[in-house]
Chains A and B, each alone.
Chain A
Amino acid sequence: MGLVIKEKEFVIPGDVIAEGIDYLPAQGVFREGDKLIAEQIGIVHVDNRLIKLIPLTGTYSPKPGDAVIGQVVNISFNGWSVDIGFSNLALLSVRDGSSDFIERKSDLSRYYDFDDFIIAKISNVGKGNLIDLTMKGHGLMKLQGGMIIDVSPSKVPRIIGKQGSMITLLKELSGCKVTVGQNGKVWISGENSENVIEAIRVIEKESHQSGLTEKIEKLLGGK
Protein backbone atom coordinates (compact mmCIF):
# COMPACT_ATOMS: atom_id res chain seq x y z
CA MET A 1 0.00 0.00 0.00
CA GLY A 2 1.04 3.59 -0.52
CA LEU A 3 3.67 4.84 -2.88
CA VAL A 4 5.37 2.25 -5.03
CA ILE A 5 7.49 4.77 -6.93
CA LYS A 6 9.17 7.65 -5.18
CA GLU A 7 8.91 11.40 -5.75
CA LYS A 8 11.04 12.68 -8.67
CA GLU A 9 11.38 9.26 -10.24
CA PHE A 10 11.09 8.80 -13.99
CA VAL A 11 8.08 6.80 -15.14
CA ILE A 12 6.77 5.45 -18.44
CA PRO A 13 3.16 4.68 -19.37
CA GLY A 14 1.79 1.72 -17.40
CA ASP A 15 4.06 2.13 -14.37
CA VAL A 16 2.15 1.69 -11.09
CA ILE A 17 2.97 4.72 -8.94
CA ALA A 18 0.83 4.00 -5.86
CA GLU A 19 -1.55 1.42 -4.48
CA GLY A 20 -4.49 1.81 -2.15
CA ILE A 21 -6.80 4.73 -1.58
CA ASP A 22 -4.43 7.16 0.12
CA TYR A 23 -3.69 9.09 -3.06
CA LEU A 24 -5.65 10.77 -5.83
CA PRO A 25 -4.68 10.90 -9.49
CA ALA A 26 -3.89 14.28 -11.13
CA GLN A 27 -2.27 15.23 -14.42
CA GLY A 28 -0.77 12.28 -16.32
CA VAL A 29 -2.02 9.70 -13.81
CA PHE A 30 -5.12 7.52 -13.83
CA ARG A 31 -6.78 5.24 -11.32
CA GLU A 32 -7.66 1.67 -12.02
CA GLY A 33 -9.03 -0.34 -9.14
CA ASP A 34 -6.72 0.36 -6.23
CA LYS A 35 -3.79 1.37 -8.46
CA LEU A 36 -2.59 4.77 -9.61
CA ILE A 37 -0.88 4.37 -12.98
CA ALA A 38 1.27 6.67 -15.12
CA GLU A 39 -0.31 7.55 -18.44
CA GLN A 40 2.70 9.32 -19.93
CA ILE A 41 6.42 9.73 -19.68
CA GLY A 42 7.11 12.04 -16.76
CA ILE A 43 8.59 12.74 -13.37
CA VAL A 44 6.50 11.78 -10.34
CA HIS A 45 5.40 14.68 -8.19
CA VAL A 46 3.49 14.09 -4.95
CA ASP A 47 1.56 17.06 -3.64
CA ASN A 48 -0.13 16.07 -0.37
CA ARG A 49 -2.56 13.39 -1.51
CA LEU A 50 -2.33 14.28 -5.18
CA ILE A 51 -0.01 12.41 -7.49
CA LYS A 52 0.80 14.04 -10.78
CA LEU A 53 3.43 13.82 -13.48
CA ILE A 54 5.67 16.65 -14.52
CA PRO A 55 5.37 16.09 -18.25
CA LEU A 56 8.53 15.75 -20.34
CA THR A 57 6.79 15.58 -23.68
CA GLY A 58 3.37 15.87 -25.20
CA THR A 59 1.16 18.08 -27.24
CA TYR A 60 -0.56 21.15 -25.93
CA SER A 61 -3.88 20.61 -24.19
CA PRO A 62 -5.90 23.83 -23.97
CA LYS A 63 -7.06 25.16 -20.61
CA PRO A 64 -9.29 28.19 -19.92
CA GLY A 65 -7.21 31.21 -19.00
CA ASP A 66 -4.19 30.18 -21.10
CA ALA A 67 -2.64 32.88 -23.26
CA VAL A 68 -1.89 31.32 -26.64
CA ILE A 69 -0.42 32.45 -29.94
CA GLY A 70 -2.45 31.46 -32.97
CA GLN A 71 -2.86 32.15 -36.64
CA VAL A 72 -6.07 33.20 -38.38
CA VAL A 73 -6.94 30.54 -40.94
CA ASN A 74 -10.51 31.44 -41.77
CA ILE A 75 -12.94 34.33 -41.46
CA SER A 76 -16.68 33.83 -41.36
CA PHE A 77 -19.60 36.17 -40.72
CA ASN A 78 -19.48 35.62 -36.97
CA GLY A 79 -15.78 35.49 -36.27
CA TRP A 80 -12.35 34.01 -36.94
CA SER A 81 -11.03 30.44 -36.91
CA VAL A 82 -7.62 30.33 -35.31
CA ASP A 83 -4.95 27.61 -35.49
CA ILE A 84 -3.38 27.34 -32.04
CA GLY A 85 -1.33 24.22 -32.78
CA PHE A 86 -4.00 21.92 -31.39
CA SER A 87 -5.91 19.25 -33.29
CA ASN A 88 -9.02 21.45 -33.37
CA LEU A 89 -9.26 25.05 -34.51
CA ALA A 90 -10.22 27.66 -31.93
CA LEU A 91 -13.00 30.17 -32.48
CA LEU A 92 -12.76 33.89 -31.87
CA SER A 93 -16.24 35.36 -32.10
CA VAL A 94 -16.95 38.92 -33.20
CA ARG A 95 -18.24 39.62 -29.70
CA ASP A 96 -14.87 38.72 -28.15
CA GLY A 97 -12.77 40.01 -31.03
CA SER A 98 -11.73 43.27 -29.48
CA SER A 99 -12.12 45.42 -26.39
CA ASP A 100 -13.61 47.96 -28.76
CA PHE A 101 -17.07 47.45 -30.13
CA ILE A 102 -17.10 45.74 -33.55
CA GLU A 103 -20.10 46.75 -35.58
CA ARG A 104 -22.22 44.06 -37.17
CA LYS A 105 -21.49 43.43 -40.83
CA SER A 106 -18.16 45.25 -40.70
CA ASP A 107 -15.23 43.83 -42.67
CA LEU A 108 -13.68 41.48 -40.13
CA SER A 109 -10.42 41.20 -42.07
CA ARG A 110 -9.72 44.81 -41.07
CA TYR A 111 -9.22 43.54 -37.54
CA TYR A 112 -7.48 40.24 -38.17
CA ASP A 113 -6.78 39.08 -41.68
CA PHE A 114 -5.92 35.62 -43.02
CA ASP A 115 -2.49 34.45 -41.80
CA ASP A 116 -2.32 37.12 -39.10
CA PHE A 117 -0.88 36.01 -35.79
CA ILE A 118 -2.61 36.98 -32.59
CA ILE A 119 -2.00 36.49 -28.93
CA ALA A 120 -5.35 35.56 -27.41
CA LYS A 121 -6.72 34.08 -24.23
CA ILE A 122 -8.73 30.86 -24.04
CA SER A 123 -12.09 31.74 -22.49
CA ASN A 124 -13.71 28.35 -22.63
CA VAL A 125 -13.00 24.72 -23.54
CA GLY A 126 -16.27 23.00 -24.31
CA LYS A 127 -17.28 19.44 -25.01
CA GLY A 128 -15.65 17.91 -28.08
CA ASN A 129 -12.78 20.37 -27.64
CA LEU A 130 -14.63 23.42 -28.89
CA ILE A 131 -12.26 26.20 -27.93
CA ASP A 132 -13.35 29.81 -27.54
CA LEU A 133 -10.84 32.66 -27.59
CA THR A 134 -11.07 36.23 -26.43
CA MET A 135 -9.04 39.34 -27.22
CA LYS A 136 -10.40 41.21 -24.23
CA GLY A 137 -7.60 41.51 -21.74
CA HIS A 138 -4.19 42.97 -21.03
CA GLY A 139 -1.52 42.29 -23.65
CA LEU A 140 -3.83 40.51 -26.08
CA MET A 141 -3.24 41.81 -29.61
CA LYS A 142 -2.36 41.18 -33.21
CA LEU A 143 1.35 40.41 -33.57
CA GLN A 144 3.12 42.52 -36.14
CA GLY A 145 6.56 41.79 -37.58
CA GLY A 146 8.98 39.63 -35.67
CA MET A 147 9.31 35.90 -35.76
CA ILE A 148 7.45 32.93 -34.33
CA ILE A 149 9.20 29.81 -33.21
CA ASP A 150 7.81 26.54 -31.87
CA VAL A 151 8.99 25.02 -28.62
CA SER A 152 7.81 21.91 -26.83
CA PRO A 153 4.75 22.90 -24.74
CA SER A 154 6.23 20.95 -21.83
CA LYS A 155 9.17 23.42 -21.77
CA VAL A 156 7.03 26.56 -21.62
CA PRO A 157 7.23 26.85 -17.80
CA ARG A 158 11.04 26.82 -18.02
CA ILE A 159 11.12 29.50 -20.68
CA ILE A 160 8.87 31.71 -18.57
CA GLY A 161 10.77 30.86 -15.39
CA LYS A 162 9.77 31.28 -11.75
CA GLN A 163 7.49 34.32 -11.55
CA GLY A 164 8.53 35.16 -15.09
CA SER A 165 12.21 35.45 -14.16
CA MET A 166 13.61 33.80 -17.27
CA ILE A 167 11.52 35.68 -19.79
CA THR A 168 12.28 38.96 -18.03
CA LEU A 169 15.96 38.13 -18.30
CA LEU A 170 15.61 37.35 -22.01
CA LYS A 171 13.82 40.64 -22.68
CA GLU A 172 16.17 42.78 -20.60
CA LEU A 173 19.40 41.40 -21.96
CA SER A 174 18.33 41.36 -25.61
CA GLY A 175 16.11 44.41 -25.76
CA CYS A 176 13.68 42.32 -27.79
CA LYS A 177 9.97 41.88 -27.29
CA VAL A 178 9.26 38.28 -26.32
CA THR A 179 5.85 36.71 -25.80
CA VAL A 180 5.39 33.07 -24.86
CA GLY A 181 2.12 31.28 -25.60
CA GLN A 182 1.18 28.35 -23.36
CA ASN A 183 0.73 26.41 -26.61
CA GLY A 184 4.47 26.42 -27.25
CA LYS A 185 4.60 29.29 -29.72
CA VAL A 186 7.00 32.12 -28.96
CA TRP A 187 6.96 35.50 -30.65
CA ILE A 188 10.18 37.48 -30.77
CA SER A 189 10.63 40.91 -32.24
CA GLY A 190 13.54 43.34 -32.36
CA GLU A 191 17.20 43.55 -33.37
CA ASN A 192 19.27 40.45 -32.67
CA SER A 193 16.27 38.21 -32.17
CA GLU A 194 18.50 35.37 -33.44
CA ASN A 195 20.31 35.49 -30.10
CA VAL A 196 17.03 35.15 -28.23
CA ILE A 197 16.12 32.16 -30.41
CA GLU A 198 19.46 30.58 -29.61
CA ALA A 199 18.93 31.24 -25.91
CA ILE A 200 15.49 29.64 -26.02
CA ARG A 201 16.93 26.57 -27.74
CA VAL A 202 19.48 26.29 -24.94
CA ILE A 203 16.73 26.56 -22.30
CA GLU A 204 14.77 23.84 -24.10
CA LYS A 205 17.72 21.49 -24.27
CA GLU A 206 19.18 22.08 -20.82
CA SER A 207 16.04 22.87 -18.87
CA HIS A 208 16.85 20.32 -16.19
CA GLN A 209 20.43 21.42 -15.60
CA SER A 210 21.61 23.85 -12.97
CA GLY A 211 23.38 27.07 -13.84
CA LEU A 212 21.02 27.72 -16.71
CA THR A 213 20.42 31.37 -15.80
CA GLU A 214 24.18 32.07 -15.79
CA LYS A 215 24.53 30.40 -19.15
CA ILE A 216 21.75 32.49 -20.67
CA GLU A 217 23.26 35.66 -19.24
CA LYS A 218 26.57 34.81 -20.82
CA LEU A 219 24.97 33.97 -24.15
CA LEU A 220 23.11 37.26 -24.34
CA GLY A 221 26.16 39.23 -23.30
CA GLY A 222 25.08 40.07 -19.78
CA LYS A 223 27.30 39.98 -16.74
Chain B
Amino acid sequence: MDNVSKDYMIKLLEKGRRIDGRKFDEIRNIEISYDVSKHAEGSARVRVGDTEVLVGVKLEVGQPFPDKPNEGTIIVGAEMLPLSSPDFESGPPSIDSIELARVVDRAIRESKAIDLKKLCITEGEKVWMVLIDIYTINNQGNLQDAAALAALAALKQAKIPEYDGKKVDYSKRNNKLPIVSLPVECSVIKIKDNLLSDPNLDEEKIMDAKLTIGVTGDGEICAMQKGGKGILTIEDISKMLDISLKNSEKLRKLLK
Protein backbone atom coordinates (compact mmCIF):
# COMPACT_ATOMS: atom_id res chain seq x y z
CA MET B 1 0.00 0.00 0.00
CA ASP B 2 1.36 3.38 -0.90
CA ASN B 3 1.83 6.03 1.73
CA VAL B 4 -0.02 8.74 -0.08
CA SER B 5 -3.19 6.71 -0.03
CA LYS B 6 -2.63 5.56 3.54
CA ASP B 7 -2.59 9.11 4.89
CA TYR B 8 -5.59 9.90 2.78
CA MET B 9 -7.53 6.88 4.00
CA ILE B 10 -6.82 7.65 7.62
CA LYS B 11 -7.93 11.24 7.12
CA LEU B 12 -11.15 9.99 5.55
CA LEU B 13 -11.73 7.64 8.50
CA GLU B 14 -11.29 10.55 10.89
CA LYS B 15 -14.12 12.22 9.01
CA GLY B 16 -16.18 9.07 9.50
CA ARG B 17 -15.93 7.83 5.94
CA ARG B 18 -14.51 4.76 4.26
CA ILE B 19 -12.71 4.74 0.95
CA ASP B 20 -15.53 2.85 -0.77
CA GLY B 21 -18.27 4.95 0.83
CA ARG B 22 -19.50 2.28 3.26
CA LYS B 23 -20.46 2.83 6.88
CA PHE B 24 -17.94 1.45 9.35
CA ASP B 25 -20.08 -1.55 10.28
CA GLU B 26 -21.45 -2.13 6.80
CA ILE B 27 -20.57 -5.27 4.83
CA ARG B 28 -20.26 -5.32 1.06
CA ASN B 29 -22.90 -6.75 -1.23
CA ILE B 30 -22.81 -10.56 -1.18
CA GLU B 31 -23.80 -13.00 -3.90
CA ILE B 32 -23.91 -16.75 -3.47
CA SER B 33 -24.25 -19.17 -6.37
CA TYR B 34 -24.57 -22.90 -5.92
CA ASP B 35 -23.65 -25.93 -7.98
CA VAL B 36 -20.70 -24.35 -9.74
CA SER B 37 -18.91 -27.65 -10.34
CA LYS B 38 -20.97 -30.74 -10.98
CA HIS B 39 -18.42 -33.36 -9.95
CA ALA B 40 -18.27 -31.93 -6.45
CA GLU B 41 -20.75 -33.31 -3.90
CA GLY B 42 -21.49 -29.68 -3.10
CA SER B 43 -20.03 -26.45 -4.41
CA ALA B 44 -20.56 -22.72 -4.13
CA ARG B 45 -19.18 -19.44 -5.33
CA VAL B 46 -19.33 -16.45 -3.02
CA ARG B 47 -18.72 -12.87 -4.07
CA VAL B 48 -18.24 -10.26 -1.39
CA GLY B 49 -17.89 -7.04 -3.35
CA ASP B 50 -15.13 -7.89 -5.83
CA THR B 51 -13.69 -10.63 -3.64
CA GLU B 52 -14.53 -14.05 -5.00
CA VAL B 53 -14.02 -17.53 -3.57
CA LEU B 54 -14.93 -20.98 -4.88
CA VAL B 55 -15.44 -23.94 -2.57
CA GLY B 56 -16.04 -27.56 -3.46
CA VAL B 57 -16.89 -30.40 -1.10
CA LYS B 58 -15.87 -33.97 -1.94
CA LEU B 59 -16.71 -37.10 0.04
CA GLU B 60 -14.47 -40.13 0.27
CA VAL B 61 -14.58 -43.29 2.34
CA GLY B 62 -11.75 -43.50 4.85
CA GLN B 63 -10.79 -44.65 8.32
CA PRO B 64 -12.03 -42.91 11.45
CA PHE B 65 -9.66 -41.57 14.08
CA PRO B 66 -9.04 -44.24 16.80
CA ASP B 67 -10.44 -41.96 19.53
CA LYS B 68 -13.63 -41.29 17.56
CA PRO B 69 -14.39 -44.61 15.88
CA ASN B 70 -17.97 -43.74 14.98
CA GLU B 71 -17.47 -40.25 13.53
CA GLY B 72 -16.72 -38.98 10.06
CA THR B 73 -13.80 -36.62 9.53
CA ILE B 74 -13.36 -33.13 8.11
CA ILE B 75 -10.37 -31.82 6.18
CA VAL B 76 -10.27 -28.19 5.05
CA GLY B 77 -7.68 -26.94 2.56
CA ALA B 78 -7.19 -23.55 0.93
CA GLU B 79 -5.32 -22.59 -2.21
CA MET B 80 -4.57 -18.90 -2.56
CA LEU B 81 -4.26 -19.05 -6.31
CA PRO B 82 -1.75 -16.75 -8.01
CA LEU B 83 -4.58 -16.27 -10.51
CA SER B 84 -6.45 -14.32 -7.86
CA SER B 85 -3.87 -11.77 -6.75
CA PRO B 86 -0.53 -10.29 -7.80
CA ASP B 87 0.62 -10.95 -4.23
CA PHE B 88 0.08 -14.73 -4.29
CA GLU B 89 2.75 -17.05 -5.62
CA SER B 90 2.81 -20.61 -6.92
CA GLY B 91 4.29 -23.29 -4.72
CA PRO B 92 3.48 -25.05 -1.49
CA PRO B 93 0.68 -23.55 0.64
CA SER B 94 1.70 -20.23 2.14
CA ILE B 95 1.26 -19.53 5.84
CA ASP B 96 -1.66 -17.26 4.96
CA SER B 97 -3.50 -20.01 3.11
CA ILE B 98 -2.93 -22.39 6.00
CA GLU B 99 -4.43 -19.82 8.38
CA LEU B 100 -7.35 -19.23 6.01
CA ALA B 101 -8.16 -22.96 5.95
CA ARG B 102 -7.65 -23.50 9.65
CA VAL B 103 -9.93 -20.66 10.69
CA VAL B 104 -12.68 -21.93 8.36
CA ASP B 105 -12.11 -25.42 9.78
CA ARG B 106 -12.34 -24.15 13.36
CA ALA B 107 -15.81 -22.65 12.97
CA ILE B 108 -17.22 -25.74 11.23
CA ARG B 109 -15.64 -28.14 13.70
CA GLU B 110 -16.28 -26.28 16.94
CA SER B 111 -19.88 -25.43 16.14
CA LYS B 112 -20.45 -29.11 15.25
CA ALA B 113 -21.96 -27.90 11.99
CA ILE B 114 -21.84 -31.42 10.54
CA ASP B 115 -23.38 -34.29 12.49
CA LEU B 116 -20.30 -36.47 12.17
CA LYS B 117 -21.92 -39.51 13.84
CA LYS B 118 -24.24 -39.78 10.86
CA LEU B 119 -21.18 -40.16 8.64
CA CYS B 120 -20.16 -43.45 10.20
CA ILE B 121 -20.41 -46.40 7.78
CA THR B 122 -18.82 -49.22 9.85
CA GLU B 123 -17.74 -48.33 13.37
CA GLY B 124 -13.97 -48.24 13.73
CA GLU B 125 -13.44 -49.09 10.09
CA LYS B 126 -15.15 -46.91 7.55
CA VAL B 127 -16.48 -43.39 7.73
CA TRP B 128 -17.14 -40.58 5.27
CA MET B 129 -14.35 -38.03 5.03
CA VAL B 130 -15.60 -34.55 4.19
CA LEU B 131 -12.95 -32.78 2.11
CA ILE B 132 -13.55 -29.07 1.80
CA ASP B 133 -11.32 -27.25 -0.69
CA ILE B 134 -11.22 -23.47 -0.89
CA TYR B 135 -9.92 -21.69 -3.99
CA THR B 136 -9.52 -17.92 -4.17
CA ILE B 137 -10.55 -16.37 -7.50
CA ASN B 138 -10.11 -12.66 -6.81
CA ASN B 139 -8.75 -10.96 -3.73
CA GLN B 140 -10.22 -7.59 -2.90
CA GLY B 141 -9.95 -8.14 0.82
CA ASN B 142 -11.54 -10.32 3.50
CA LEU B 143 -11.05 -13.69 1.88
CA GLN B 144 -11.67 -15.19 5.30
CA ASP B 145 -15.36 -14.35 5.62
CA ALA B 146 -15.98 -15.14 1.96
CA ALA B 147 -14.27 -18.54 2.31
CA ALA B 148 -16.20 -19.46 5.46
CA LEU B 149 -19.49 -18.51 3.84
CA ALA B 150 -18.68 -20.39 0.63
CA ALA B 151 -17.65 -23.48 2.62
CA LEU B 152 -20.92 -23.44 4.52
CA ALA B 153 -22.95 -22.88 1.35
CA ALA B 154 -21.20 -25.80 -0.35
CA LEU B 155 -21.73 -28.04 2.70
CA LYS B 156 -25.40 -27.15 2.91
CA GLN B 157 -25.87 -28.19 -0.67
CA ALA B 158 -23.73 -31.32 -0.54
CA LYS B 159 -25.24 -34.77 -1.06
CA ILE B 160 -23.73 -38.09 -0.08
CA PRO B 161 -22.91 -40.44 -2.98
CA GLU B 162 -23.90 -44.09 -2.98
CA TYR B 163 -21.50 -46.61 -1.47
CA ASP B 164 -21.93 -50.36 -1.84
CA GLY B 165 -19.22 -51.33 0.64
CA LYS B 166 -16.54 -51.46 -2.06
CA LYS B 167 -16.89 -48.55 -4.41
CA VAL B 168 -18.33 -45.06 -4.29
CA ASP B 169 -20.76 -44.31 -7.10
CA TYR B 170 -20.42 -40.60 -7.67
CA SER B 171 -23.12 -40.59 -10.32
CA LYS B 172 -25.73 -41.31 -7.66
CA ARG B 173 -26.04 -38.88 -4.81
CA ASN B 174 -29.02 -39.14 -2.51
CA ASN B 175 -29.04 -37.97 1.09
CA LYS B 176 -28.03 -34.51 2.08
CA LEU B 177 -24.99 -34.05 4.24
CA PRO B 178 -26.31 -33.68 7.83
CA ILE B 179 -25.75 -29.98 8.55
CA VAL B 180 -27.06 -29.03 11.99
CA SER B 181 -25.75 -25.53 12.58
CA LEU B 182 -24.67 -22.60 10.44
CA PRO B 183 -21.44 -21.01 11.66
CA VAL B 184 -20.59 -17.87 9.68
CA GLU B 185 -17.48 -15.77 10.13
CA CYS B 186 -17.38 -12.00 10.39
CA SER B 187 -14.12 -10.09 10.47
CA VAL B 188 -13.60 -6.63 11.90
CA ILE B 189 -10.36 -4.73 11.53
CA LYS B 190 -8.88 -1.90 13.51
CA ILE B 191 -7.13 1.05 11.90
CA LYS B 192 -6.00 3.54 14.54
CA ASP B 193 -9.15 3.80 16.67
CA ASN B 194 -11.57 2.87 13.93
CA LEU B 195 -13.32 -0.49 13.72
CA LEU B 196 -14.34 -1.56 10.22
CA SER B 197 -16.41 -4.57 9.15
CA ASP B 198 -15.62 -6.66 6.09
CA PRO B 199 -12.38 -4.86 5.15
CA ASN B 200 -11.53 -4.29 1.49
CA LEU B 201 -8.00 -4.91 0.26
CA ASP B 202 -6.79 -1.32 0.72
CA GLU B 203 -8.06 -1.29 4.28
CA GLU B 204 -6.62 -4.72 5.02
CA LYS B 205 -3.19 -3.57 3.84
CA ILE B 206 -3.04 -0.73 6.35
CA MET B 207 -4.86 -2.41 9.26
CA ASP B 208 -3.31 -2.60 12.70
CA ALA B 209 -5.23 -5.65 13.85
CA LYS B 210 -8.07 -7.93 12.80
CA LEU B 211 -10.51 -10.13 14.64
CA THR B 212 -12.37 -12.91 12.86
CA ILE B 213 -15.37 -14.13 14.81
CA GLY B 214 -17.28 -17.31 14.05
CA VAL B 215 -20.91 -17.07 15.09
CA THR B 216 -23.39 -19.95 15.29
CA GLY B 217 -27.11 -19.65 14.71
CA ASP B 218 -28.08 -19.05 18.31
CA GLY B 219 -25.72 -16.12 18.75
CA GLU B 220 -23.01 -18.29 20.14
CA ILE B 221 -19.36 -17.61 19.34
CA CYS B 222 -17.69 -20.77 18.07
CA ALA B 223 -14.32 -19.52 16.84
CA MET B 224 -12.07 -16.51 16.97
CA GLN B 225 -8.77 -15.54 15.44
CA LYS B 226 -6.89 -12.35 16.06
CA GLY B 227 -4.78 -11.30 13.10
CA GLY B 228 -2.44 -8.46 12.24
CA LYS B 229 0.55 -7.16 14.11
CA GLY B 230 -1.22 -4.59 16.30
CA ILE B 231 -3.07 -4.95 19.59
CA LEU B 232 -6.69 -4.97 20.69
CA THR B 233 -8.20 -3.85 24.01
CA ILE B 234 -11.04 -5.58 25.85
CA GLU B 235 -13.20 -2.65 24.85
CA ASP B 236 -12.30 -3.14 21.18
CA ILE B 237 -13.12 -6.84 21.39
CA SER B 238 -16.45 -6.15 23.02
CA LYS B 239 -17.39 -3.74 20.24
CA MET B 240 -16.12 -6.09 17.56
CA LEU B 241 -18.26 -8.89 18.98
CA ASP B 242 -21.35 -6.68 18.90
CA ILE B 243 -20.70 -5.72 15.28
CA SER B 244 -20.04 -9.30 14.19
CA LEU B 245 -23.07 -10.72 16.01
CA LYS B 246 -25.21 -8.21 14.16
CA ASN B 247 -23.61 -8.84 10.75
CA SER B 248 -23.66 -12.61 11.18
CA GLU B 249 -27.46 -12.51 11.05
CA LYS B 250 -27.30 -10.90 7.62
CA LEU B 251 -24.92 -13.56 6.34
CA ARG B 252 -27.03 -16.40 7.69
CA LYS B 253 -30.14 -15.04 6.02
CA LEU B 254 -28.35 -15.26 2.67
CA LEU B 255 -27.96 -18.98 3.19
CA LYS B 256 -31.72 -19.43 3.62
Binding site for B on A (CB under 8 A): 71, 115-117, 143-148, 187, 193-194
**Contact (Cβ within 8 A) A146 B4:** yes
**Contact (Cβ within 8 A) B5 A147:** yes
Within the assembled complex, what's the spacing in Å between the Cα atoms of A193 and B17?
A: 12
Within the assembled complex, what's the spacing in Å between the Cα atoms of A145 and B5?
A: 8
Tell me which of B8, B12, B17, B19 contacts A145 (CB under 8 A).
Answer: B8
Residues of A with C-beta under 8 A to B5:
147-148
Chain B 1-44, CB-CB to A under 8 Å as 1, else 0, gives 01111011100100001010100000000000000000000000
Whole-angstrom distance from the CB of B118 to the nearest CB of chain A? 50
Q: Which applies to chain B's interface (DSSP): helix, strand, loop or mixed?
A: helix
Most chain A Cβ neighbours within 10 Å, of B2, B7, B12, B21 = B2
The residue on A at minimum CB distance from B5 is A147
**Contact (Cβ within 8 A) B8 A115:** no
**Contact (Cβ within 8 A) A145 B21:** no
Residues of A with C-beta under 8 A to B3:
115-117
Residues of B with C-beta under 8 A to A194:
12, 17, 19, 21
How many interface residues does chain B have, given as a range?
10 to 19
Within the assembled complex, what's the spacing in Å between the Cα atoms of A116 and B7?
A: 12
Residues of A with C-beta under 8 A to B19:
194
Tell me which of A117, A144, A145, A193 contacts B2 (CB under 8 A).
Answer: A117
Whole-angstrom distance from the CB of B24 to the nearest CB of chain A? 16
Residues of A with C-beta under 8 A to B12:
194
Q: A145-B7, A145-B8, A146-B8 are in contact. Are A115 and B17 (CB under 8 A)?
A: no
**Contact (Cβ within 8 A) A148 B4:** yes
**Contact (Cβ within 8 A) B4 A147:** yes
The residue on B at minimum CB distance from A71 is B2
Within the assembled complex, what's the spacing in Å between the Cα atoms of A144 and B4?
A: 7
Within the assembled complex, what's the spacing in Å between the Cα atoms of A115 and B7?
A: 12
Most chain A Cβ neighbours within 10 Å, of B4, B7, B12, B19 = B4
Within the assembled complex, what's the spacing in Å between the Cα atoms of A71 and B4?
A: 10
Whole-angstrom distance from the CB of A82 to the nearest CB of chain B? 13
Whole-angstrom distance from the CB of B4 to the nearest CB of chain A? 5
The 27 sampled A-B contact pairs (Cβ below 8 Å) are A71-B2, A115-B2, A115-B3, A116-B3, A117-B2, A117-B3, A117-B4, A143-B4, A144-B4, A145-B4, A145-B7, A145-B8, A146-B4, A146-B8, A147-B4, A147-B5, A147-B8, A147-B9, A148-B2, A148-B4, A148-B5, A187-B4, A193-B8, A194-B12, A194-B17, A194-B19, A194-B21
The residue on B at minimum CB distance from A148 is B4
